[in-house]
Structure 1
Amino acid sequence: MMKKVFITGGAGYIGSIMIGAMLENEYEVIVLDRMFFGKRPVLKYLDHPKVHFYKDDVRYFDKALLKGVDVVIDLAGISNDPASEINPQATININQKGSIRVAKVSKEMGVRQYILASSCSIYGEGDDNLLNEESKKNPVSLYARSKIKAEEAIKPLADDNFCVTFLRNGTVYGYSTRMRFDLVVNTMTWKAWQNGKIHIMGGGQQWRPLVHVKDVVDAFLLVMQTQNLSIINGQAFNVGSNDQNYQIWQIANMVKNAIPNTELEFFPSDPDRRDYRVCCDKITNVLGFKTKKTVTDGIIEILDGLKSGYIDAMDPSNITVKYYKYLLEAEKALREIKYKGKIF
């Protein structure tokens, strides 16, 4: 039977890929997005009869939009650790309180299933072990803390009529129509292609769990299509694979293998304290999830996009934190320039 899926942040890095996957599975899609990065990432879906777009905010949207919705996928948020520090209160209001609101109104409107895009960054500064879903959380950023708070507040909403699942994504990589060059694999590939050089902080010893954007989408689909909701209700799952835990220096060398003339520059210190490896056995054992893409796949597809020009290397919106700062500065400039509400 046709399912109606409601995706917050559906025009973003993951969401713009997810729309296509939902359509391939014959779902009707409602996209709620603030459209910070414009309509270009979802341009090909704007006139699709099974996709409905609403430019709105998770904090304020009319809950009536959820009428008849079967599944809510909550991707919306200030995306990544540095960006979350630009306006801490906005991060709390959107990433934490916004997600809690989405979950509550979903339950109120009779939605059967709610899936939150959480993050493995909640493990933060880890130890030498593979961290599973029960491991100690040691967040080092507001972004990670907001995800923890959201999970803690939303989990008690789960009951026999409302299934709640948290997907803790690893560090995502790969091509998307809403490209991001503030994720480690993507950033290194872009810098190697553009400058022939990669700066590696902290000696490159830090660990990151990696996962391709299409594998992330597959994980959400797998949760959506689970018949026995009792095995996922109130549960968190790390999304990735054990064999894609890499140290930063290893990632840099994979990029160098694809772009041989790349120079690697190592620096001993790094203000970013994130350093963790995660265990993804649970999602494999419970749901049968397996990743299909490798880091090399991601590097090659981004490199091909840069070479061919369908990825705009100079688009300022590709670096989230810089683009947010640009928007705030532009807003301030417009306020100062406008006269009687107009520029001219």
Structure 2
Amino acid sequence: MSKKKILKKSILVTGAGGYVGSILVPMLLKKNFKVIAIDKFFFGKTLLKNRNLRLIKKDIRDISTKYFKNVYAVIDLVALSNDPSGSNFPELTWQINYQSRLRTAKISKEMGVKKYILPSTCSVYGNQKKIVTENSKTKPLSIYAKSNLTAEKDIIKLKSSNFLVIVLRQATLFGYSPRMRFDLAVNGMTEGVYKNNILPIMRNGLQYRPLCHVKDTSRLMVKLINQNYKKYNGEIFNVGSKFCTESIINIAKLVLNNVNKSAKLKWYGNPDNRSYKVSFRKLEKLGFKPKYSINYGVREMVECLKKNKIKKNLKSITIEWYRYLKSKGKFLKEYEKK
């Protein structure tokens, strides 16, 4: 008697060619999932060919229901990331980060997708004096944060007994990715010290940031796909760790200690009003523990820099690459408001 063939579950990942997607997708493939990777691939195709990987180059605002057929779960990574992008492209940020993800969630539910994961951001907390939990009042200070928060609220409303929705408020990410970003605090500091003996640091340095390695948030998403978390349907989780929560000036010191203690600080920008400490107790109760420290992330990037595996260029600074694409007429177009 032949054994019954076990079909691989299909996971649809939007924004799959980005900083997180370039780490997450290989993890999912390693766990024997099939992956449908949808992206405009503005930053190139970092995902290696795999018989269980289907690459679709498409604007997320145009995807049809056909891509969701027999999909088990959706991880909606797509976003115009960070505050500078939101400030420069406010309408597109609203369309991509809020409207397109709400549409994707609705299609997912309509097509019988079982799980929908929305990676959001801790920046929805804005400026807080007390340690914030998932139930704390939000104070978004930018279009980027506001679009994410609005997406959270409207997508959670779609939850049902057959449609699991989980929101992940990610801390500021760091660490190596094939789609490298040097516009993230730890990454930018590390590259600056290694290449130029100068550490770029945003004024005034006293603002606090919870951090999370890109591999840790990816590990969490794989865990959520792999296991049954029905009791957490419609729940929000802060993603990060207490051991990766530091002031910007202390993050700078950690980078200096791991790369070059003699490097000079180069202050830039206006004082950053975002400052918050975040509780991760709820994540711990879920049974998930981040593994990768700031020290690990810095050393990892230094090794990659030594091997010329990563380098700072236009593509590694998100807003600069968006501006370049726009100047060449190759960036996203705003849709007419109906």
Q: TM-score range by the shorter chain?
A: over 0.9
Deviation at 1:312, TM superposition (A): 2.4
Equivalent residues in 2 for 1:77-92 (5 A)? 77-92=79-94
1:276-302 deviation digits (Å, cap 9, x = unpaired): 1111110111x2110110001100111
Q: Decide whether the 8 Å contact of 2:193 with 2:260 is kept in 1.
A: no
Identify the match of residue 70 of structure 1 among 69, 72, 88: 72
**TM-score normalised by L of structure 1:** 0.91
Q: 1:266 & 1:180 partners in 2: Cα distance?
A: 19
Q: Decide whether the 8 Å contact of 2:194 with 2:260 is kept in 1.
A: no
Q: Decide whether the 8 Å contact of 1:192 with 1:262 is kept in 2.
A: no
Worse-matched range after superposition: 167-176 or 218-227: 218-227
Deviation at 1:95, TM superposition (A): 0.4
Name the amino acid aligned to 2:38.
L
Match of 1:167 in 2: 168
**TM-score normalised by L of structure 2:** 0.93
Equivalent residues in 2 for 1:189-268 (5 A)? 189-230=190-231, 232-265=232-265, 267=267
Name the amino acid aligned to 1:194.
K
Deviation at 1:267, TM superposition (A): 4.6
Q: Decide whether the 8 Å contact of 1:306 with 1:312 is kept in 2.
A: yes
Give the secondary structure class of the aligned counterpart of 1:126: coil
Deviation at 1:227, TM superposition (A): 1.7
Name the amino acid aligned to 1:35.
F
1:162-216 deviation digits (Å, cap 9, x = unpaired): 0000011100000000000011000100111121111333331010000000100
Q: 2:203 & 2:89 partners in 1: Cα distance?
A: 27
Match of 1:301 in 2: 300
Q: Decide whether the 8 Å contact of 2:124 with 2:145 is kept in 1.
A: yes
Q: 1:197 & 1:262 partners in 2: Cα distance?
A: 9
Match of 2:185 in 1: 184
List gaps (5 residues or longer) in structure 1. Answer: 333-344
Match of 2:333 in 1: none
Deviation at 1:269, TM superposition (A): 7.0
Name the amino acid aligned to 2:311.
D
Match of 2:118 in 1: 116
Deviation at 1:264, TM superposition (A): 3.6
Q: Decide whether the 8 Å contact of 2:197 with 2:260 is kept in 1.
A: no
Match of 1:316 in 2: 314
Match of 1:342 in 2: none
Q: 2:25 & 2:328 partners in 1: Cα distance?
A: 30
In structure 2, relative to structure 1, the CA distance for the partners of 1:329 and 1:228 (3 Å cut) is closer
Residue 284 (str. 1) matches residue 284 (str. 2) = yes
Q: 2:305 & 2:265 partners in 1: Cα distance?
A: 22
Identify the match of residue 95 of structure 1 among 94, 97, 103: 97
Residue 53 (str. 1) matches residue 52 (str. 2) = no
Q: 1:136 & 1:303 partners in 2: Cα distance?
A: 38
List gaps (5 residues or longer) in structure 2. Answer: 1-5, 331-338
Deviation at 1:34, TM superposition (A): 1.1
Name the amino acid aligned to 2:290.
T
Match of 1:32 in 2: 38
In structure 2, relative to structure 1, the CA distance for the partners of 1:25 and 1:208 (3 Å cut) is same
Structural RMSD (CA): 1.6
Match of 2:16 in 1: 10
Match of 1:145 in 2: 146
Give the secondary structure class of the aligned counterpart of 1:204: coil
Deviation at 1:120, TM superposition (A): 0.5
Q: 1:182 & 1:267 partners in 2: Cα distance?
A: 15
Match of 1:135 in 2: 136
Worse-matched range after superposition: 268-277 or 288-297: 268-277
Give the secondary structure class of the aligned counterpart of 1:73: strand
Deviation at 1:306, TM superposition (A): 0.9
In structure 2, relative to structure 1, the CA distance for the partners of 1:164 and 1:205 (3 Å cut) is same
Q: Work out the percentage of aligned pairs sharing the same amino acid.
A: 39
Match of 1:336 in 2: none
Q: 1:330 & 1:266 partners in 2: Cα distance?
A: 32
Moved >6 Å (runs of 4+): none
Total equivalences in the alignment: 325
In structure 2, relative to structure 1, the CA distance for the partners of 1:16 and 1:199 (3 Å cut) is closer
